Structures are given as C-alpha cells and as structure tokens.
Amino acid sequence: MLRVCEKLRVVDAKSKRHGLARTETDYLRALQDAMANMDSCVEVEVLKSLGDVNLEKGKMDKNSEMLDRAMVLYRTALIQCNDADVGESLEHRYHYAEKLRSYEEYLTTGDRALTDGKLDEAEQNFVSALREIHDPSKPDRGKEAECLCRLGDVYVQRGETTKEGRKFTQAAALYNAAMARMDKNKHSVTKKLQEIEQLFLHHTANVETKHVPPDLAIGHKKRLQEMRTCAKSQLEAIDHQHNPYQYDEDDPVMITVEAEGAEAVKALFKNIAKNRQGFIKDLVNECIATLGPPPCKYAFIGLGSQATELVTPYSDLEFAILIEEGKDTYDTRRYFLNLTHYLHLKVINLGETILPAMAIPSLNDFLSEDPEKDWFFDSVTPRGFAFDGFMPWASKTPFGRNKTKRKPPVSLIQTPTEMAKFQLLDISVAEGYHLSDILRRVVFLTGEEALVKIYEEKLKEVVTDGLLSPLLVRLSALKILEENREHINSHEPTGQLLNVKKDIYRFPGIAIEVLALITQITLASAWDIIDRLKEMEEIQEENATHLTVLTSISAELRLRTYLNNGGQQDKNTAHPDIAMSLNNLGSSWSHLGDHKKAISYQEQSLSMVKTIYGENTTHPDIAKSLNNLGSSWGNLGDHKKAIRYYEQALSLMKTIYGENTTHPDIAKSLNNLGLSWGNLGDHKKAIRYYEQSLSMGRTIYGENTTHPDISSH
C-alpha cells in the first residue's frame, strides 16, 4: 500500500509539471496497481483523482463527454467508498460535475436556438444555465459572464425585431454586467456596446449615424470619478478645518465649531448637487445633438435627493420631464421617450447599473406573485450612478410605471398642469402618497426653466390653496410618519451596525419633509427649508442649528460610507472616518436630549474602532468612545453603567499616556467618575476623584491659572 501511495504522490507532483493528459495516464497505471493489490482505499482515491482530471478537462474544453466521464468515475468511487468524509467529498464533486454538465447543455441548446432566431427558447436556456451556477455569496464570475453575454445577444435581436428602446438598454445592462465579471478579453463586449448605440439610433430613433466615438463613455466615467475624488478631498478639508470633537462637550467652542462644520458640509452637498446637475445637462445635450431638436419646450426636473440637495456622486438619477402646455401629442411623447432611452443607454454604459434595476422578467419578475421568479441577485456589478429602477415601487424616471394588478400605468412625461394633478387627493390616496411627495419637491436640471416656474405655481394652487389642502397636508404628513414609524422610534442600544440610509440618513429627511408640509413651505432643498423655518420662527434658532448639524452628519456619514465602499452599499464598513461620524451623531442626539439614540450610535462607533484597532488594543479613539458612552448612560440616569464605562476609559488612558502622567483626558475621566459617584450618593468616593482631577488640572494648566477645566473640577 505504501508503494501505491508513494506512486500517487509522484503522480500528483507530475500533474503540476506535465499537464492533464500525461497525468491521466499515470493515474490509470496507479489504478491498475491498486486493483492488483485489492486495496479499495487507494482505488477510491485514484478514481476520485481521475474524476478530477476529467472534470478539469471538461471545464477547460467545454466538453460534455469529459464531464460525463467524471460523473461516472465519482459514482464508481462512491459505490466502493466506506469512509463517510470521503463519501461526502465525492457526493459534492458528483453534483458539481452534474451541474456543469447541465450548464454546458443549456448553453449549447441556447446557442442553437439563437442561431435559428428562436429568441424565447434561447433566453430560457441561457437563464437555466445561469440558474445552475448562480451563487450570490460566491459568484462564478466567468460562467455568469458567459450567460449574461448570451442574454445580451438575445435582447439585441429583440430590439432589432420590436424596435423597442428598452430592449436595447436591457441588452446594454447585460453586457455591462458581463464586463464587470471579466478580468480580460473585454474588447469584444466593448464593441457590442458601441454597436448597440448605433442599432438603437437606427431601429428605435430612426437616426442614421456612421460612428459612435468610443471615447465618449470613457470621458463620462472619468468625469464621474473626478466628482467623487473632489467630494472626498473636500470632506477631508472639512475634517481638518472644523473638528468640534477635539473639545469637551460642555465647552461653548465645541458648539460653535460644530455649527461651522455643518455649514461646510451643507456647502459641500450643494456643490455636489450642482456638479451632478451639470453632468446630467451635458449628457442630455449630447443625446439631443444626435437625436435632433425637441418638438417643443421641455424641462428635466430632478427628484429625490437631487432636489433636496442631499445627493451623493453615487446616488440614483430620479427625474421627470415637463413638456409645453398644448404640445402633449404622440410625436412629442415618442421623442422624449426615445431621448430618455438614449440617456439611459449612456448612463448604463457608466457600468454602475445592477441588473435587478432593469426588471428583466426572466431574471427579476417583480410583477409575479411567485417569489421564485425574482431570483437573480447582482452581487458583482458596482451600484452607483444609475437610473432609478423599473421596480413598481421605484420607477421615478420619465418611463414611469407600467400597469400593475392594483394600480394604473403612470408616465412622468407631462405638462405642468397634468404633473401637478398627482397632488390631488384621490390620486395621492390611490398612489399611496409617495409619488405625490416626490413630485412636490423638484429642482431644474436642463431645458426651459420657465416651465419649472409654471409647475411650481400649479403645485402651489393644489398644495396651499383650496378647501382640500389642509386635509391633504395632514394626510400626507401622517402617512409619511406611519410609513417610517420603525425608523423614527428610538433604537434600543444593541451595538450592531445600522443601515446608513434606512436608520440614519432617513430620519432628518422625514423631519424636514413633515415640517415643510405642515408649514406649507414649497422649497425643495432640505438646507433651504431649515433656513425658511427659522425665518418664519416656526423653530427656534438653536433647534435650527441642531437640525442642520444632524442633517449634515447623517448626510456626511452616508457619503463617507459610499466613498469607502465604492458604491451604494449602505451597510457601514469599518473605517476611522465613519467611526468618527457615528460618534458625532451620538453627540448630536445627546444635545437634542435623545440619549438612547445617542448610545445606539456611540456603541456602533465603539464597535467599529475596536474592529479597526483590535478588541484589546489601547487606542485614544476607543477610550474616547468609552467616555462618551459613560456620559450618555449617566444622562439616562444609569450611573452604575456610566461608572463602568468611565473606569474602562480611565484604565485605557493611563495605559496610553502612563500610569502617573498628567493629561487632560485623564483629568476629565477622573472628574466624570467623581460626578457619577456623587449621583449615586457616595460623596466620599466622589470627593477623592474630584481632588485627583483638580490636582491634575492645576499641574497641567498652572496652580494659579484660570481655566475652564480647573473650574469644572
């Protein structure tokens, strides 16, 4: 047996040097020896190795016969195997080979159907192949790319047959998703994407063009990246110039610097919104230059975060189109639909549109009640600057929404008068208020700005005039609060990382939206609404500052998360800047008096800094987080828990700075411990800590120096 095992070892070594063909011959000789020695254990191992060789050949050459042979070898080994662990490994290999066999068969059948022009059959087979190997947690990128490319070919032919613009954009999204999964040989897919643009212009827009410059998409990507780099550098500058958290929370300077930082963040987000507007305007003008002049006056209006000026360089593009009154004809709609498709094609070619957003029925059928038909999860394509998706609950683009079982179709290409009708009570109720809420706050992007002014006047007539407006306002406000009740309620502290968009960013937006509704402010920008609320004396100046700070920190945290993740991933990843923002949010909630919410964010910050620096590492940021948690628990009245955090912070600081070192942070922790013991009624212990803190403060600042830290001890 030892001789045969040694032979197997030699064969394994040869396989790395001489390739699979030579290896298979050597394994067959080893199998003969094992059978001659009647050694079933070695025989099973050799059969397994022979199966692996044939499996690898089948994968490399896309040879179904080799995959069949691998399955036979694995099954033969299984029959003779008496070891449970080896048997489990063989079962796994057998099913994997079976899956690959089915995959190759589906692709071959699909290729034949596509050649014969049987598009439904081809799509069905390519989708079946994709299903065989699709694993969101561990995607097989190469095989997914093969399937997605073929599906792209199907949708190109569908576009040529039906002349529907959406078929071409779906094809482009499939090709881009395939490219995201490819490490090399992208040239052929890039060429297909260039051909799609020409095919769309020819078949859908009836425009003949000889050549589409390939460097246009490259230029768009470069410009988008420059916007992101600029936002990141501005954020870093704000960190250096306005860092309120270098001061104690009760230091008046801290409040001033915090407010200045919030104003700087506000300016940053206004700048991002302006840059995005310019980018969108240039893309639209590029499309119009090819399609020809529009048949009437028009205006693109930005919705959602573009309108509220809380948009990031990674945010979805949500918009609608206003057209001139009296010009709503078939030809007008056809032009602007084609313009939207063409713009969509250019945005898709930025490479940041995930496939579910395209609502391709064979991958993600959102209208079906069968959950199995919404099965494809795109974990590879980066999610960034893209059209709002075609899902029924999204669809905030001129395409609107197709008819569903419960709702009629909606188009967001309308005259100002018709667009304003979405605010009417019966339509708002039927749509669930969300659409009317979105269309109430808009911003001009490109076209004729006068149309936006007309729309705003029409909006004002519906929202602020008439007998129904107070009822509509109350209903809208209540509906917003009801739909977001889960996110408004204080989170019990858990230490778990929250979703930036749902749990952090959304609350200030809801507060501002409801305040704007009940005060009948029709401004779009969240920042401008806060300023107007202050001017109208609906909120006090101090609360306006708190709301600005809270909005700035939540928006900044979302931007940091996207910059750190390289796209729209709302789960926090461990990063010092994000940890600092979470801590800042905790401080802001503490100022507003919601200490439970403050603790929730501070625990996230503590969890993150421990992840970054190590669970048992001594680091000033960990000590700071512990100290802040002690303060918040003290504010909640749990002084025992506060003392535990203060003692941990003090221990860390003494380790960092030295056991007998005098340092302001150590003095502060001693003072906090004195305060907590005093609140618990142990005044002797409180005095001891106060005396240590006072002595250290005088050593740091001088015996006879007047300093806020000494006066507070």
Give residue for tokens 């960092």.
Answer: 656
Q: Quick check: 469 and 440 in contact, CB under 8 A? A: no
Q: How far is Cα 330 from Cα 472, in angstroms, rounded to an integer?
A: 33
Single-letter amino acid code for the residue at 713: H
Give the pLDDT band (50/70/90) at residue 429: low
Total number of domains constituting the chain: 4
Among 245-254, 346-355, 472-481, 641-650, name the one with the lowest average pLDDT.
Answer: 472-481
Are 200 and 346 in contact by the 8 Å Cβ rule? The answer is no
Query: Do 694 and 592 sit in the same domain of this protein?
Result: no
| Strand partners for 320 | 301
pLDDT higher than threshold 50 for residue 17 = no
CATH code for position 513: 1.20.120
pLDDT single digits (tens) 325-338: 999 999 999 999 99
Q: How far apart are CA 199 and CA 193, in angstroms?
A: 10
* Domain end residue (candidates: 561, 596, 615): 615
> What is d(CA 178, CA 168) in angstroms, rounded to the nearest whole number?
15
Q: 586, 615, 644: which is the final residue of a domain?
A: 615
Assess whether 88 and 234 both reside in one domain. Answer: no
pTM above 0.85, yes or no: no
Angle 444-349-389 (CA atoms, 0-180°, nearest 5)? Answer: 60
Mean pLDDT of 292-296: 96
Distance CA 488, CA 435 (A): 21
User: Does residue 455 lie in a domain region?
Assistant: yes
Query: What Å distances lie between residue 319 and 24, 333, 354, 470, CA to CA?
Result: 61, 16, 19, 27
- pLDDT, one tens digit per residue, over 211-261 is 777 778 899 999 999 999 999 999 999 988 987 767 766 678 888 888 899
**Do 60 and 111 belong together in one domain?**
yes
On whether both 51 and 24 belong to a single domain, the answer is: yes
Contacts of 698 (CB under 8 A, 6+ apart): 705, 710
pLDDT score for 494:
46
Q: What is the CA radius of gyration of the chain?
A: 32
pLDDT of residue 493: 46
Q: How many CB atoms lie within 10 A of CB 357?
A: 21
* Predicted pLDDT at 101: 80
8-state DSSP, 313: T
Let me know if residue 354 belongs to a domain.
no
Say yes or no to pLDDT of 280 above 70: yes
Q: Running DSSP on this structure, what letter comes out for residue 567?
A: S
Domain membership of residue 374 (yes or no) is no
Which domain range does residue 598 map to?
Answer: 484-615
What lies within 8 Å, CB to CB, of 225 at 6+ separation is none
The model's confidence at residue 500, banded by pLDDT at 50, 70 and 90, is very low
CA distance linking residue 291 with residue 342, whole number of Å: 9
Q: Write down which residue in 561, 594, 615 finishes a domain.
A: 615
Query: Could you tell me the CATH number of the domain that includes residue 640?
Result: 1.25.40.10
Confidence of residue 495 (pLDDT cuts 50, 70, 90): very low
- CB contact at 8 A, 631 and 249: yes
Q: Both 177 and 303 in a single domain?
A: no
Write down the pLDDT at residue 324.
97
What is the rounded (10 degree) CA torsion for 377, 379, 384, 388? 0
Between 693 and 168, name the one with better pLDDT. Answer: 168
